[in-house]
Structures are given as C-alpha cells and as structure tokens.
C-alpha cells in the first residue's frame, strides 16, 4: 500500500511531503509552474507611441537581466496598443483581464485611458502597475490596494516647476496645455507650486488632445503680461509645440512639466535650448545604476534612455520586489502588496519608494536644456510625495 505522509505545516505551505508515490503537485506548485502573464497595455501608435515603446523596451530589458524569469517563474508578455484612446480603454482593459487573464497589468501612458483601466482593475482585483499616466485620482480618492504607480502624479513635476519659478521671484505666469486630465492636473500643480513660492497663475490656454493647432494660442501670449509660460505637452505634440513657440519669436520664457523636453530633444533641436523643466529624471545624474541602465537601454533600443524607460524599468523592479517576497505566489495578495508598499528601489532616477496611497516618492529636479540635453541644475524638492488626498487604504 502506498503511504502518503502530509504534515500540517507542509500542507499549509503547499509543499506536502509524499512518499512511495509520484508527488501530487499542490495548488501553489501548479501556479508556480505556469508562466506569469504580464499584460502591457500601452500606446504603440499616435502621439505617445515612443513613450509606450520605451516603457516596453525597459520592461523587457529588466526581464532579460533576470534571465527571463521573475521569482523563479517564466514570464509571458502580452501587448496591446491602446492608441491613447480613452473611449476604447475599458474594452481594452477587459480584454487583458478577462480574455487574456493577465496576472499583472502594466499600463498605461495617457491619464484618460488610465481612468478606464482603473475601473476594470479596481473591480477585478488584478494587480496593476502604472508606468506613466499621472492621473491624480487613481492614487488619491480612487486609490486601490492592488494599484501602484512607478511614475508620478501629474501634480508632482508641475508643482516643482511652479515652486522653482515662484522662489526666484516670478510673480505672474500662464499655463498652456491639452485640455484633458494630465494638462489640467499639471496646471493645478504648477499653480500651487507658484503660489507656494509667492507667484500667481493668471491665465490658462488649452486646445483639445491630441490637436496641434497651436497658433491661435501662441498669438495670445505676448499680450498676457506674464513673465513665464508653463506647459504640459509630451511626445510628438511637444516636439511641434516647442518648435512653433521658438519660431513665433515670443519673448516670454517657456518652461514646463519635464515631459515638454523629455525624449523629444532630437526632434526639437535648437528650438529647445535653454528651456527649463522640472521632472524626476534628467541628464547627468551620476550613479552606477543610471550609468548601467543607460548603456543597457541604448544597446537594446538603439536610442537614449528617457524618463519613460526609467518608469517602465521601475515598474518591473517593484513587481519583482513583490514577487520575490511571496516566491512568485500571486495568490498571497496581502504579502505581495505589503512587499511592494515597503520596497526601497534603486532607480536610475535615484532612490524611490511607495507612498501610503501607492504613488512613487521621489526627488524632483530642475533641468535646463543645454547642448541638446536635459541637464540637471538642482533638486527642487527632495523625496516629494503626492498629498494622496482622499485615499483610504
Ligand atoms: C498623461 O496623460 O498622464 C501623460 C501623458 C504623457 C506624459 C505624461 C503624462
């Protein structure tokens, strides 16, 4: 007769001891043996296509560094182009969560699409790591235990820019942006930073996302009587905006949330020289981590790393920290989330961690475009946490 000896502790751990017969795999062992499905829901077309590509390259790069496995589990990547279209966001997120049954959803870039993803993952409980979109509410009043952000809130970098201007004595500034969540929330951050430094936001100019008919707005700037113009644009739209601003010969200095000149300098050329922005990454940050990261990214993507690549890499780093703590067992949710919440990550941008509302805490740097690079000038705010207003976890 075959005897099966199962200690209670081993059974609880899912590692039953068997003698005399082939071991029957436990639920945990079965789950371990299955590849970990990571869904990448990102823009691979449209004005934010390069942002989505760089996030993807960096996630893949991290996985390759880990030998293709996380916490001992093979990884399968499933990609979906969300085209930065909020109207398709819910359906696309449901495809990943329900049809593809991903274990983790890494996405996305556009704040409006993020709101749609959030609805789906908050309901399904799927682990979601946001590698870019700054929509404030997903780590404020809508925060969820299974949603983490490795990037920023729209408030964070724009607050840093406003504060830097206010502190240097700028009294009146304007804000120009696309009329959607990222533009509006960045504008609010800029205003609050400016006011904290003693300045004032006197005018906001907007156009629809992703339109690029900037001329009617540019024509108004000179008459506003402001000393600085802050802005949020990114990707292809930012390239065009900066070029048109320079070509219009406007005397008021342009600045912004760092996305204005991030990953765009090759396209903007001389038009970007001298522009100041605030962001959680920049050129010339010297650390062994950043040097190694930049070299590896260049080898993989054949272009320079930028903040989007950093955020993608760190999404994978946070995920790995969680998975290591539970040995790849995603069913152990409480321990998985706790490990992500308490992870101390050595990011190419510097040291980072998670706030209580699951948004990244990080240094915000003032940068200036010099010789075709976003050179870090100073740290505006060290280890800035989003206020996380309304989050109850
Ligand atoms: C956003 O929609 O949240 C966003 C898009 C591009 C760059 C930064 C933020």
pLDDT band at 19 (very low <50, low <70, confident <90, very high): very low
> Is 251:273 a contact under the CB 8 Å cutoff?
no
> What is the residue extent of each domain of the chain?
2-152+286-354, 155-279+366-384
Reported as a single tens digit per residue, the pLDDT across 268-309 is 999 999 999 999 999 999 999 999 999 999 999 999 999 999
**Pair type for strands 345-347 and 276-279:** unpaired
pLDDT at 32: 67
Q: Comparing C-alpha atoms, which of 289, 307, 279, 341 is closest to residue 149? A: 341
Q: Do domains 2-152+286-354 and 155-279+366-384 have the same CATH topology?
A: yes
Quote the CA–CA distance of 98 and 91 in Å, as a whole number. Answer: 10
Cα–ligand 1 centroid distance for 23 (angstroms): 50
Cα–ligand 1 centroid distance for 48 (angstroms): 8
User: Which overall architecture, per CATH, does domain 2-152+286-354 show?
Assistant: 3-Layer(aba) Sandwich (3.40)
Reported as a single tens digit per residue, the pLDDT across 103-121 is 999 999 999 999 999 999 9
Cα–ligand 1 centroid distance for 217 (angstroms): 21
Select from 46, 85, 110, 190 the residue to mutate for testing ligand 1; criterion: most ligand atoms less than 8 Å from CB.
110
In the numeric block, the tokens 């200095």 are attached to 253
pLDDT at 6 exceeding the cut of 50 = no
CATH number at 155-279+366-384: 3.40.50.2300
pLDDT at 26: 61
Cα–ligand 1 centroid distance for 82 (angstroms): 14
> Is 93:133 a contact under the CB 8 Å cutoff?
no
């Amino acid at each position: 007769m075959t005897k099966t000896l199962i200690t209670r502790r081993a059974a609880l751990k899912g590692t039953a001891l068997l003698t005399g017969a082939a071991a029957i795999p436990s639920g945990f062992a079965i789950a371990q043996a299955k590849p970990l499905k990571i869904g990448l829901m990102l823009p691979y077309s449209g004005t934010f296509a390069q942002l989505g590509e760089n996030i993807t390259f960096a996630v893949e790069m991290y996985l390759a560094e880990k030998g293709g496995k996380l916490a001992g589990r093979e990884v399968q990547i499933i990609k979906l182009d969300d085209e930065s279209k909020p109207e398709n966001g819910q359906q696309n997120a449901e495809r990943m969560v329900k049809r593809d049954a991903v274990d983790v959803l890494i996405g996305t870039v556009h704040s409006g699409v993020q709101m749609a993803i959030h609805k789906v993952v908050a309901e399904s409980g799927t682990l979601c790591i946001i590698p870019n979109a700054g929509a404030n509410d997903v780590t404020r009043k809508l925060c969820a235990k299974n949603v983490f952000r490795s990037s920023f809130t729209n408030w964070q970098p724009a607050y840093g820019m406003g504060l830097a201007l206010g502190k240097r004595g700028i009294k009146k500034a304007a804000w120009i942006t696309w009329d959607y969540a990222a533009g509006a929330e960045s504008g609010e951050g800029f205003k609050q930073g400016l006011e904290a430094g003693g300045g004032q936001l006197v005018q906001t100019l907007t156009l629809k996302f992703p339109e690029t008919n900037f001329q009617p707005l540019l024509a108004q700037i000179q008459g506003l009587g402001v000393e600085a113009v802050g802005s949020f644009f990114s990707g292809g739209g930012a390239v065009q905006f900066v070029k048109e601003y320079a070509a219009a010969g406007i005397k008021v200095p342009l600045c912004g949330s760092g996305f204005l000149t991030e990953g765009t300098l090759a396209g903007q050329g001389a038009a970007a020289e001298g522009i100041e922005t605030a962001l959680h990454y920049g050129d010339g940050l010297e650390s062994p981590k950043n040097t190694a990261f930049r070299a590896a990214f260049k080898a993989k993507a054949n272009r320079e790393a930028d903040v989007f690549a950093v955020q993608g890499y760190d999404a994978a780093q946070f995920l790995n920290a969680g998975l290591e703590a539970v040995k790849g067992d995603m069913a152990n949710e409480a321990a998985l989330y706790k490990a992500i919440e308490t992870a101390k990550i050595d990011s190419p941008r510097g040291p980072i961690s998670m706030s209580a509302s699951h948004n990244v805490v990080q240094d915000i740097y003032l940068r200036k475009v010099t010789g075709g690079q976003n050179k870090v000038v100073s740290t505006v705010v060290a280890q800035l946490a989003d206020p996380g207003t309304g989050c109850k976890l």
